[in-house]
Every structure is written in C-alpha cells, then in structure tokens.
Amino acid sequence: MNQTETPKAKDIILVVDDQSNNLKVIASVLGSDYSLSIANSGVNALKILENNMPDLILLDIMMPDMDGFEVCRRIKSNERIRHIPVIFLTAKTDIDDIIKGFRCGAVDYITKPFNATEVDARVQNHLKLKHALNELKVTNHKLNELNATKDKFFSIIAHDLRSPFTSILGYSELLIQQIKENNFESISQYAGIIEQSSKKAMDLITNLLEWARSQTGRIAFTPEKLDMVQLVDETARMFEQIAFLKNISIKRLLPEHLEVLADKNMISSVIRNLISNAVKFTRQGGEISITTRTEPHEIMVFITDNGVGMDKQRLEKVFRIDNTHSTYGTADEKGTGLGLILCKEFVEKHGGKIWAESKEGVGSVFSFSIPR
C-alpha cells in the first residue's frame, strides 16, 4: 500500500445467534476480514441496530423469545435499516421455511453446520452487491442533478436572451417608424444599440455552447486582462432604455479604471443578470447604483437597488438551483428566476464568491468578488 493511501475501513457484520459455538465459528471464518458485532438474541440485535448501521446481518432463525423471521420483519419495516442485507443462518432446509425467509426480506441462506468457504463466499458476494447498489444510487443521484442543472441552464439562457432581443425588436420598430417619417436624427444611435444588443445575444449563445462543452470537461474558460469599469459601463448601457421607461436612474459610482483577470463573457453575463434583476424589481422612480471596492486579494462589485427587496426565506434560496421559481417584476416583467444561478456558476468558476443582502420593502444589494 502507498504510504499516502488511507487504509480501507472494514465492512461491519452483525452476527445474531444464541449459540456461542456458532458465534465462535463465524468469528474464526470472518473475524480477520470484517468488523464483527455480536448479539445473542433477536431483542439484543434490535437494540444494537437502534444506534448502529452494519453493512450486513447474519441472522439465526431458531432463537428463544423472538425468532429470526420476526427480527427480519422488524428490520425490514424500519426505513432507516431496511436496506441492510440479511442472510439467515439455519439448520432448517425445508422449502416452506426458505420461502418464508425470503418473504420476510432475507437475501440468502447459510445452512448449518457451516462450511467456511461457503460462508466467506456468500458474505463477500452480498457485500459486493450492496456496495455496487450504493454506488449506482450515488451515480443515479448525480445524473439526476446533472439533468436538472442542464434543464435549468437552458432556461437561464432563454431568459437572458430576452433582454437583448427586446432591445433589438424595440429599436428596430423605432427605426422603421422614423424612416417612414423621414426623420433620420436618431438612426445612428438606434442602429448602434441594435448592434450592441446583437453582440450580447451572440455572447449568450457562445456561453451556451461553452456550457455544453463543460459537461464533457472541455469548457472554455479564458481569463484575460479586463477593465471592470469599462465592462460595467458597457453592460449598464444595455438597460438605459428599459430603466428610462420605468423612470429608474442607474448610477455608476466607479473609479476611472479597474483592471481584473477574468473571462469577459462570463463576468459580462454576471453583471447583466444583476442589473437586469435590479431594474426588474425596482419601482417607478427608483434608483440603482453600481459601485466597486478593491481589497488586497480581491475586487468586489456591488449592485444596489431601493426596490421591493426580499424576506429572509426567499433570500436564502436565490442562488439554489433546486429552489428557483419565476417572480414577476414591479411592471409585471416575466422571468425564470434562474439568472442568479448562472451568476453563481460563473463567479465560482473564477474562484470568487457571490452573495446578497436584502430587506423586504427597502431593497437589495447583490455583490460578487473576483480574486486579483
């Protein structure tokens, strides 16, 4: 064994038999390879199981007070321990008794007098099967989580694509109208907004493709030197028209420059989602401010609003993918409630943290940090 490896813990076997000679035989066969727990009656076995979780139970059938069939029935009726495999130890080989044992929930029989090789082989096989089933359950659970994450992620992308396409459609209609009226005053401005929104939509689609690659361990995480101030400013401009329609002011209280090493697409998506949420949940005439703070080892960004806020219960769930649900904004804006999950994934990819503070009726502060 490599000196750095941790010795594998021995499987625990509970042996239940009222005959001391049988216990000695079992101990001589299994004692060196397994950790044995001994009970000399069915009652004592159930007491041991109240506080212990063996990997397998060897259970004698013929015992006073409570026979093995009854012990097995009680084990299988207990949700906490019913998964433990039970092998009956018995001299009774009548077919009716064997069927009765299987109906109680046993997985196998070992007949007395014991054959050492048979005992070892049956115990080993059932423990291997138990461990394989446990691994299968863990794998199945991970697959279910992965599928849930995949479905959520696609919903997030669909949610995020609405914002740039709303701008594209809105300003395209304005362009058409002004051209019809021979009013060319704002055409260049509107075309610029449409171009910018189109680029953001393309960035989102790129993120979707990158996430798909991440499922095979090939995600493209490409940090580069960025000016966080410029990135915040560019992203905030996307929401000026939407904020204007709700009479919301977006203030950017930022330094002149703030250099970070980050993936531009990911951090842009984080900022976009946080500003989008702030606009969505801020009432008419409200205010949103974007600030930064530089620490020795990290840079922090804060998006603060004086919107509707959240109660403690809702706040605890905002970054959990298993608890997301759609919430309507102050102007009945629809959303999936999933953008923050994307933010969390992208910030953590950078080794940073994301968190929120909120008070119902007062507003919220969503913050994230990126290591310097």
Confidence bin at 332 (pLDDT 50/70/90): very low
- CATH number at 26 reads 3.40.50.2300
Q: Are residues 194 and 259 in the same domain?
A: yes
pLDDT at 278 over 50: yes
pTM over 0.75: no
Q: Are residues 293 and 164 in the same domain?
A: yes
Give the mean pLDDT of 318-346.
63
> Which residues form the domain of 23?
12-114
In single-letter form, the type of residue at position 150 comes to: K
Question: 326 vs 197, which has greater pLDDT?
Answer: 197
pLDDT in tens, 128-187: 999 998 899 888 888 887 777 677 666 666 666 777 788 888 888 888 888 888 877 778
Q: Are residues 75 and 203 in the same domain?
A: no
Question: 58 vs 331, which has greater pLDDT?
Answer: 58
Q: Are residues 358 and 214 in the same domain?
A: yes
2 occurs within a structural domain: no
Predicted confidence at residue 336, as pLDDT, reads: 46
Q: Are residues 160 and 278 in the same domain?
A: yes
Q: Which residue matches tokens 């044995």?
A: 36
**Of 341, 348, 344, 321, residue with least CA distance to 221:** 348
Which of 98, 114, 130 finishes a domain?
114
Q: Are residues 184 and 223 in the same domain?
A: yes
125 occurs within a structural domain: no
Q: Are residues 86 and 171 in the same domain?
A: no
5 occurs within a structural domain: no
CB of 354 closer than 8 Å to CB of 347: yes
CB of 158 closer than 8 Å to CB of 336: yes
As a whole number, the mean pLDDT across the chain is 84
**Of 364, 144, 344, 370, residue with least CA distance to 275:** 364
Q: Are residues 187 and 313 in the same domain?
A: yes
327 occurs within a structural domain: yes
32 occurs within a structural domain: yes
| Polymer length in residues for the chain | 372
pLDDT in tens, 68-104: 999 999 999 999 999 999 999 888 778 888 889 899 9
Q: Are residues 96 and 162 in the same domain?
A: no
Number of domains in the chain: 2
Q: Are residues 299 and 264 in the same domain?
A: yes
95 occurs within a structural domain: yes
pLDDT in tens, 183-236: 777 788 888 788 777 876 776 676 566 566 655 555 568 899 999 999 999 999
3 occurs within a structural domain: no
* Lowest mean pLDDT segment, chosen from 6-20, 43-57, 214-228, 301-315: 214-228
3-state percent helix, strand, coil for the chain, nearest multiple of 5: 50, 20, 30
Q: Are residues 249 and 304 in the same domain?
A: yes
Q: Are residues 195 and 291 in the same domain?
A: yes
- CATH number at 166 reads 3.30.565.10
pLDDT at 322 over 60: no
